Amino acid sequence: MNNARLQELERSVSGIAKKVLGAVPIVTSWSAKEIHAELARLGQNVERQVVDGCLYSLKSSGLIREEGPGQFSRVQAKEKTAAAPTDAACVLIDDVPPAAKRDALDELADCAAKVRDLGYAAKALAERIEGVALRVAEDTQRIAADGQKLQQLRDLLKSVT
Residue 154 forms part of a structural domain: yes
User: Residue 31 belongs to a domain with what CATH number?
Assistant: 1.10.10.10
Q: Where are the alpha helices (DSSP H) in 26-83?
A: 32-41, 48-61
Average pLDDT score over residue span 14-22: 85
Selected residue with higher pLDDT from 72 and 86: 72
- How high is the pLDDT of residue 131? 86
23 and 67 fall within a common domain? yes
pLDDT greater than 50 at residue 89: no
Q: Which amino acid is at 142?
A: R
Range of the domain at 120: 94-161
Q: With 60 as the cut, is the pLDDT of residue 20 above it?
A: yes
19 found inside a domain: yes
pLDDT band at 156 (very low <50, low <70, confident <90, very high): very high
How large is the average pLDDT for residues 63-74? 86
* Domain edge (last residue) among 78, 107, 133: 78
Residue 74 counted as domain residue: yes
pTM for this predicted structure: 0.46
> Would you say 62 and 1 are in contact if contact means Cβ atoms under 8 Å apart?
yes
Beta-carbon contacts of 68 under 8 Å, excluding residues fewer than 6 positions away, are 29, 110
* Residue 81 pLDDT: 60
Whether 87 maps to a domain, the answer reads no
pLDDT higher than 70, residue 18: yes
Q: What strand order describes the sheet that includes 64-68?
A: 30-31, 71-74, 64-68
Tally the domains of the chain. Answer: 2
- Compute the distance between CA of residue 43 and CA of residue 160 in angstroms, rounded to an integer: 69
**Do 8 and 47 reside in the same domain of the chain?**
yes
89 in a structural domain: no
Higher-confidence position of 116 and 91 = 116
pLDDT for 146: 94
Grade residue 80 by pLDDT with cuts at 50, 70 and 90. Answer: low
Do 7 and 74 lie in one domain? The reply is yes
Q: What is the pLDDT of residues 26-64, one digit of tens each?
A: 888 888 899 889 888 988 888 888 888 888 888 888 888
